[in-house]
Chains A and B, each alone.
Chain A
Amino acid sequence: MTEQVGVVGAGYSDPETFTDHRNAERSKEDLALSTIENTLDNAGIGMADVDATVFTTVDGFEATNRIERTLGTLGQGNNIPLISVNTGGTGGGSAFKAAYEQIAAGQHDVVLVYASGSFDSAVEGQQIMNTAAPPIFEKPIISAIHMGALYASKYMDTYDVTEEDLALTAAKNYESASNNPWAHRDRAFSVEEIMDSEMVAWPLRRLLTCPVSSGGGAMILASEEATRELMDEPIWVDAAQSITNTFLTGYRTYESFPKLETLAERVYENAAIEDPESEIDYVETFNPYIAFELMQYEALGFCEYGEGPEYLRSGITQADGDVPWNMSGGVLCTNSGICASLSRHIEVALQLMGDAGDRQVDDPEVGLSHSWGSNLGQFHTLAVMSKESA
């Protein structure tokens, strides 16, 4: 009884809302309303057509609990199911997966996924994030930047990766973001500018690390029948899955993402992908600390371990390359809380729909999206979407 699941809508709050979280001017309700209106417009449907909503955030960042109860824009007026998913930074991927499962099981026909901007409330998110760490050994030392720096330094040490390699990767993302109206850091930076930016936690400099942004994102998933009604060239979800690592991070490795490699093998099998580089046309990954993007080239099977910098230099992941990667500028440029986690899926859907504006790549048919979250990246999610040509 498994149903084919389609993506019929994707969208964001208005471009000017993607700014520094301290400059956020809209109320949470207003942000949610404009995000959902834009996304329903993209799908060509109204809220009355939505059968269920999956909401995701990290409650602590909202400076309240279960913020969705008070938003009032998520279908409560129609008494539809409102499912609250919280898996940290993987929230967007987890919510997408939850909606996918509900439709595939025939429980709902049209499901809205709303990912909150999250960061526009708490004065300082670090203390909140820090409570997710194991209390005895890690809580005394860990904040978000360390999550990135531990991986980046071990990766550089293991594979002789240089600071310039990281800066080159960041420069690619900044150049892409300059074409993206929804990017927070929305201008190109040269490699020199990046390498001159201040050191935050070695080896991560300011411009190798994401900002803290505002902005909301949403998607609409639908059953096969509803998808065929709404789309001339349907976008199908070929796979959506997640994986769990240990809670204590002493059991993990830092020079690579082995759990992401395992997850990719499973997801490629589900989506019948044998050679990712030749079969996947577009990729969006969770790259708030830019070394992650190089490590993801490797874990996702696009190149061998340690060859990430060479793969970047080959140009394959550039806008005009064979597999453009993070043409939105990624999380490095726009870190809008849990929205940034769903944004990876939104960007892939917009690219497949041909709705990606100035960041549109040449006619992609298969896309891969990724999210990463919880303490030091305990969880990964992946989804494969593909376009059925008319």
Chain B
Amino acid sequence: MSEVALVSYALEGFHDRIASRGNEVVFEVSRDALDKVGLEREDVDAVIGCDQDAFNGVTVSFGMKACAVGGYNKPSTRIQNGGVYAIAQARSKILAGKADCVVIASEDNVRFDETAISTISQDPVYTRPIGQNYAQSHAMIASHHLERDDVTERDYARTVVKNYAAAADNPYAHRKKEPTVDEVLDSDLVSWPIRESEIAPVSAGGGAIVLTSADLAREVTDSPVWIEGTGLGSSRYSMRDMDELRRIPSLRAARHEAYEQADITDPRAEIDLAEVYDPIAPMEILSYEALDFCEDGAGAQMIRDGITESDGDLPVNPSGGAVATNPLNTGGLYRTAMAMAALRGDDQSVSVPGAQKAAVMGSDQMYGSRGRTDGVLVLGGEAA
């Protein structure tokens, strides 16, 4: 049995970017997540933030939040790669015997220009001067994908239609619309071949997740979700090798480690659902391949066969994914929470009947696909 469990989560949102209640949000979601399992602030041994300064508009932004998450007089830290990396760190802390209960929280409630932030974070010599941002660098991968693999623009549209249909039933989802494939293809072009309905919005809200040791998990909940494996990986900041960008080596490295820890040898058969980061539709298709759900180049066929639809054989993004809901700081926590909901079957947001095992992907590629870090969690539920 795994030794670290996710025992509770709480989410606020998600909605259009309105700078609403800022740091109060992390207090509310942390308090709510602890209340759900009857834990008090005194039970929390350490807290971790997973947001980035650029998306909070201030320097060392976790300073404002550490105590609201319950960290006063306790250890705290902040991991900028997002929720999945923070979960991996919290799991290490518990496995190392340094804590029994860790709260991770973040919020997205500051208005900013995500394209400007993306441009500023490009390298200063080659791509920053031409104003490149994440939409364009993602689109370059998409156009390469169209050229090399068995995939069409219609497949991209089908992917997001599937996701919007899933989001329609999810109370936490941000963009609620149910376009047809033709309507997606008719939406405004952002950067060819990516259209407005195929690229993730920026969503406001917040989230918190509580991790505990096995003993504490058994005390506080009947439905712990076990962390059976974690894997992390990085990749080079290079635009020259388009094939490398298409293959997502950072995600493959993370997947190898996570599957090995969780003893997964046939992911297509053993995993019951996945939550992946899909800032644009092609990234979801490419992540099927990187997560070894199919052969390289066969991702689009999974879409055509309906395998990854919510009622398919291997639902991917039953929450609706990032194309519907994309809080930049809280995305990793959000996808993990949605996988928890699916595995527990006790939440109306995401339903995958009988699901026992989930893969969750965390990624910080919102600056553009180069130099990204990815993380993979394998989660196990105890559904009857």
Q: Is B226 an interface residue (CB 8 A)?
A: no
Q: Which of A3, A97, A101, A128 has the most CB of B within 10 A?
A: A101
Q: Is B371 an interface residue (CB 8 A)?
A: yes
Q: A76-B237, A84-B79, A98-B77 are in contact. Are A59 and B53 (CB under 8 A)?
A: yes
B58 pairs with A132, CB closer than 8 A: yes
Nearest Cβ on chain A to B67's Cβ, whole angstroms? 6
Q: Which of A223-246 contact B (CB under 8 A)?
A: 241-246
CB neighbours (8 Å) of B234 from chain A are 53, 74-76, 79-82
Q: Is B91 an interface residue (CB 8 A)?
A: yes
Q: Which B residues contact A (CB, under 8 angstroms)?
A: 3, 47, 52-54, 57-67, 71-81, 85, 88-89, 91-98, 117, 120-124, 230, 232-237, 249-250, 252-254, 364, 367, 370-373
- Residue-wise interface mask of A (87-129) relative to B, using a CB-CB cutoff of 8 A (1 in contact, 0 not): 1100000100110011011110000000000000000000011
24 A–B contact pairs at CB < 8 A? A52-B232, A59-B52, A59-B59, A59-B80, A65-B367, A70-B121, A76-B237, A76-B371, A79-B253, A80-B253, A81-B233, A82-B234, A83-B89, A84-B80, A87-B60, A87-B76, A104-B96, A105-B92, A105-B95, A132-B60, A132-B63, A134-B64, A244-B76, A375-B60
Instruction: Report the nearest A residue to B63, measured CB to CB.
Output: A374
Q: A59-B53, A88-B63 are in contact. Are A69 and B237 (CB under 8 A)?
A: yes
Q: A81-B233, A98-B77, A101-B89 are in contact. Are A373 and B60 (CB under 8 A)?
A: yes
Instruction: Report the nearest B residue to A75, measured CB to CB.
Output: B234
CA distance A58 to B121 in the complex (A): 14
| Closest 8 pairs (CB-CB, A-B) | A69-B371, A81-B232, A104-B96, A105-B95, A82-B234, A105-B92, A79-B253, A88-B60
Q: A83-B79, A84-B79, A246-B72 are in contact. Are A106 and B95 (CB under 8 A)?
A: yes
CA distance A116 to B350 in the complex (A): 42
CA distance A373 to B252 in the complex (A): 36
Instruction: Report the nearest A residue to B77, measured CB to CB.
Output: A94
Instruction: Report the nearest B residue to A107, measured CB to CB.
Output: B92
Instruction: Report the nearest A residue to B86, measured CB to CB.
Output: A83
Q: Which A residues contact B (CB, under 8 angstroms)?
A: 1-3, 52-53, 58-60, 64-66, 69-72, 74-77, 79-88, 94, 97-98, 101-102, 104-107, 128-129, 131-132, 134, 241-247, 259, 262, 373-375, 378-379
CA distance A131 to B73 in the complex (A): 23
B81 pairs with A84, CB closer than 8 A: yes
B58 pairs with A131, CB closer than 8 A: yes
Instruction: Report the nearest B residue to A375, measured CB to CB.
Output: B63
B75 pairs with A242, CB closer than 8 A: yes
Instruction: Report the nearest B residue to A246, measured CB to CB.
Output: B67
- Cross-interface CB contact of A86 among B75, B80, B236, cutoff 8 Å: B80
Nearest Cβ on chain A to B286's Cβ, whole angstroms? 16
CB neighbours (8 Å) of A52 from chain B are 232
Q: A69-B367, A102-B89 are in contact. Are A132 and B59 (CB under 8 A)?
A: yes
CA distance A132 to B370 in the complex (A): 29
Q: A129-B59, A131-B58 are in contact. Are A98 and B89 (CB under 8 A)?
A: yes
Instruction: Report the nearest B residue to A5, measured CB to CB.
Output: B96
A101 pairs with B92, CB closer than 8 A: yes
Nearest Cβ on chain A to B82's Cβ, whole angstroms? 10
- Cross-interface CB contact of A76 among B58, B67, B79, B235, cutoff 8 Å: B235
- Cross-interface CB contact of B236 among A77, A101, A374, A379, cutoff 8 Å: A77
Instruction: Report the nearest A residue to B70, measured CB to CB.
Output: A244
Q: Which of A70, A80, A87, A378 has the most CB of B within 10 A?
A: A70
B235 pairs with A79, CB closer than 8 A: yes
Q: Which of B60, B98, B117 has the most CB of A within 10 A?
A: B60
CB neighbours (8 Å) of A101 from chain B are 89, 92-93, 96, 98
B96 pairs with A247, CB closer than 8 A: no
Nearest Cβ on chain A to B227's Cβ, whole angstroms? 12
B237 pairs with A72, CB closer than 8 A: yes
Nearest Cβ on chain A to B3's Cβ, whole angstroms? 8
Instruction: Report the nearest A residue to B89, measured CB to CB.
Output: A98
A244 pairs with B74, CB closer than 8 A: yes
B77 pairs with A79, CB closer than 8 A: no
CA distance A66 to B118 in the complex (A): 10
B60 pairs with A66, CB closer than 8 A: no
CB neighbours (8 Å) of B60 from chain A are 58, 86-88, 132, 373-375
Other than A58-B53, A244-B73, A262-B73, give 8 A-B pairs with Cβ distance below 8 A.
A2-B95, A65-B367, A79-B235, A82-B373, A94-B77, A98-B89, A241-B75, A375-B60
CA distance A87 to B352 in the complex (A): 39
CB neighbours (8 Å) of A244 from chain B are 47, 66-67, 71-76
Nearest Cβ on chain B to A217's Cβ, whole angstroms? 19
- Cross-interface CB contact of B52 among A65, A71, A75, cutoff 8 Å: A65
Nearest Cβ on chain A to B235's Cβ, whole angstroms? 6
CA distance A64 to B299 in the complex (A): 35
B249 pairs with A79, CB closer than 8 A: yes
CB neighbours (8 Å) of A87 from chain B are 60, 62, 76-78
CB neighbours (8 Å) of B372 from chain A are 69
CA distance A104 to B78 in the complex (A): 19
A81 pairs with B373, CB closer than 8 A: yes
- Cross-interface CB contact of B96 among A2, A70, A80, A134, cutoff 8 Å: A2
CA distance A379 to B52 in the complex (A): 18
CA distance A60 to B80 in the complex (A): 13
Q: Which of A97, A132, A373 has the most CB of B within 10 A?
A: A132
Nearest Cβ on chain B to A255's Cβ, whole angstroms? 19
CA distance A71 to B371 in the complex (A): 9
CA distance A76 to B73 in the complex (A): 36
B53 pairs with A247, CB closer than 8 A: no
CB neighbours (8 Å) of B88 from chain A are 107
Nearest Cβ on chain B to A52's Cβ, whole angstroms? 7
Q: A65-B117, A244-B67 are in contact. Are A60 and B59 (CB under 8 A)?
A: yes
Instruction: Report the nearest B residue to A55, measured CB to CB.
Output: B80
Nearest Cβ on chain B to A92's Cβ, whole angstroms? 12
A131 pairs with B78, CB closer than 8 A: no
A131 pairs with B66, CB closer than 8 A: no
Q: Which of A79, A83, A107, A373 has the most CB of B within 10 A?
A: A79
Instruction: Report the nearest B residue to A127, measured CB to CB.
Output: B59
CB neighbours (8 Å) of B67 from chain A are 244, 246-247
CB neighbours (8 Å) of B58 from chain A are 131-132
Nearest Cβ on chain B to A269's Cβ, whole angstroms? 13
Nearest Cβ on chain B to A29's Cβ, whole angstroms? 10
CB neighbours (8 Å) of B364 from chain A are 66
CB neighbours (8 Å) of A81 from chain B are 85, 232-234, 254, 373
CA distance A128 to B57 in the complex (A): 10
Nearest Cβ on chain A to B351's Cβ, whole angstroms? 33
CA distance A1 to B214 in the complex (A): 14
Q: A59-B53, A132-B60 are in contact. Are A83 and B81 (CB under 8 A)?
A: yes
Nearest Cβ on chain A to B73's Cβ, whole angstroms? 7
